[in-house]
Structure 1
Amino acid sequence: MKQELVALVTGAANGIGKAIATKLASRGISVLLTDLNKQQGHAAASELAKRYNVRTEFLQTDVSQEEDIRKAVDASLSFTGRLDYAANCAGICETIASEERSISTEWFDKVYSVNARGLWLCQKYEAQQMEKQAPREPVLDPPSRYPVPGQRGAIANVVSISGLTSLGLAAYTPSKHAAAGITKNGAKFYGPSGIRVNACCPGWTITNMTEAHLGDRAVPGTPEYAESPVNRKIALRRMGLAEEQANLVSFLLSDESSYMNGALVVNDGGFYEIDN
């Protein structure tokens, strides 16, 4: 009988987070979706359960609140008593990219509390739960002639190319540099326990957040999108889709990446490598 696997996804009500939850559900994985948006979160969980015939739940969660994160990790255990995968996608961003004079201390602290501190707390409590679990042997296809050491879980953080360079964004960019460091530390701290921690670093990706920042320049099919200077800086001449980021996160959590740990994987259509 096939073992039921369980994933926790933060920021799962829309955008990249919802795409990740959808991708994992399509693989037959039970998913606990968390987000601040209660209405969209419940709707997403119901939709995925019906579409893929998997078990899902939604829990309203503020990742800037430590107790909310504890509750989310505990809730993820309701399926099988294990947490096999965690995808940390919750994040916020300002809409002003070109300067930092207008960024208040309060806003900087709010962004950091979600993108950095919140990510750290999620990773910490997810890994603490995984450390309690019995190792599960990764399934390699085709199999190796050598045994593969068991693993207790895998964590994928959604960072950003803004965690590797600077595109402006006076609050968001420092928070994402912190997120990259948190990922690296997680790989170092939890790798010896058989827990892998990696990160997806998206480039320009079409989400509600991007549309709020760029308007019609982030809406395919519009003249503004076709003429967008952002697209001209991307080798593929288009922004990425949330589903394309979800494919990478799914890989980082899967047994197909069983030897990857501490990687910050850029997925940006050829923007960061070419523009820097």
Structure 2
Amino acid sequence: MSKLRLDNKKVIVTGGADGIGKAICKVFADEGAKVIVADINQNLGKETVDQINQNNPNASKYIQTDISSKSSIQALMEQSLNFLGGLDIVVNNAVAFVFGKVEDVTKEDWEKVFNTNLIGAANLSASALPHLKLSSTPAIVNIASVGGFKASPGFIPYQASKAALIQLTKGLALDLSEYGIRVNCVCPGSIYTSATDRHIKFEGSDKESHLKNVAKSNLIRRIGTPEEVAYAALFLASDEASFITGTQIVVDGGLTIH
């Protein structure tokens, strides 16, 4: 029997109740990790944990978390440590979207997106630091986006926050290297999640047309799946990536070279 890639690793995944985050939680648990599903959506969070624990008993726990709140992050850390008994890996995946033209985006929209996508990731990483220092194989994986370096209409706050998250990844990799903590990010392209449906609504198009346009935009000729992003995150979190830090894996079907 082959060795599990995250055997007995202790993990926190933010935004873990749906989409890419849910796929990460499931894949990590299947590879032997004990996983905290941190998410603001209680119903989806509990549903995800139930699904994980069916295949991997007592492998996960849901903790309701507002990643934009420092007090919520502190509560997350305390409850996570009680369940996990330590910490090896943090996956910063929680995300906020605002669709619209720049003239329609409010100050509150900007704050919501940056407080979740960037500042929340920075605050959780800082809060996790004392515990990651105690791990023999500590890692942080940030879920950024190709939107961090490729512009698309109607996504300005999201794209700006993801560009900053990519740079945060590099800065953290430098600052935390003295503790042996690796920091990397995954940059997904077009991945089918619940956010895709919201984007289709914003565009005023239909699902079939949208998916056809996505297929034309990349070299694989289809939209990606959350699991395909999860396996990239799995690699970066695992010991297989022990000589990789401060960089990103692009999972976009060739979108950014096409």
TM-score, normalised on structure 1? 0.85
Distance 1:157 1:202 in 2: 11
**Letter aligned with residue 179 of structure 1:** L
| SS of equivalent residue, structure 1 residue 101 | helix
> Which of 163, 169, 176 lines up with 1:177 in the alignment?
163
| SS of equivalent residue, structure 2 residue 12 | strand
Alignment-derived partner of residue 146 in structure 1: none
Deviation at 1:54, TM superposition (A): 4.2
Distance 2:144 2:53 in 1: 27
Q: Which runs of 5+ in 2 are unaligned?
A: none
Task: Map 1:213-232 onto structure 2 (within 5 A).
Answer: 213-215=199-201, 223-225=208-210, 228-232=212-216
| SS of equivalent residue, structure 1 residue 171 | helix
Alignment-derived partner of residue 233 in structure 1: 217
Runs of 4+ in structure 1 deviating by more than 3 angstroms, as ranges, are: none
Taking only aligned residues, the RMSD between alpha carbons, in angstroms, comes to: 2.1
Q: Which runs of 5+ in 1 are unaligned?
A: 137-150
Alignment-derived partner of residue 101 in structure 1: 103
**Letter aligned with residue 191 of structure 1:** S
Alignment-derived partner of residue 127 in structure 2: 125
The alpha-carbon distance between structure 1 residues 80 and 115, as it changes in their structure 2 partners (threshold 3 A), is closer
Alignment-derived partner of residue 118 in structure 2: 116
Alignment-derived partner of residue 184 in structure 2: 198
Alignment-derived partner of residue 189 in structure 1: 175
* Larger-Rg structure: 1
> Which of 246, 250, 254 lines up with 1:266 in the alignment?
250
Distance 1:55 1:25 in 2: 6
**Letter aligned with residue 102 of structure 1:** D
Task: Map 1:12-51 onto structure 2 (within 5 A).
Answer: 12-51=16-55
Deviation at 1:185, TM superposition (A): 0.8
Distance 2:168 2:62 in 1: 26
Deviations 1:179-206 (A, max 9, x none): 1111111101111211111000000100
> Which of 215, 239, 256 lines up with 1:255 in the alignment?
239
Deviation at 1:225, TM superposition (A): 4.5
Deviation at 1:159, TM superposition (A): 0.4
Distance 1:185 1:216 in 2: 34
Q: Is 1:7 aligned to residue 5 of structure 2?
A: no
> Which of 156, 165, 174 lines up with 2:150 in the alignment?
165
The structure where helix makes up a greater share of residues is 2
**Letter aligned with residue 231 of structure 1:** A
**Letter aligned with residue 21 of structure 1:** C
8 A contact 2:38–2:62 mirrored in 1: yes
8 A contact 1:4–1:80 mirrored in 2: no
The alpha-carbon distance between structure 1 residues 185 and 216, as it changes in their structure 2 partners (threshold 3 A), is closer
8 A contact 1:216–1:224 mirrored in 2: no
> Which of 127, 148, 155 lines up with 2:140 in the alignment?
155
Deviation at 1:60, TM superposition (A): 0.3
**Letter aligned with residue 54 of structure 2:** K
Deviation at 1:100, TM superposition (A): 0.9
The alpha-carbon distance between structure 1 residues 180 and 25, as it changes in their structure 2 partners (threshold 3 A), is same
Distance 2:87 2:241 in 1: 18
8 A contact 1:240–1:268 mirrored in 2: yes
Once the two structures are aligned, what percentage of the paired residues are identical?
Answer: 30
Distance 1:26 1:53 in 2: 11
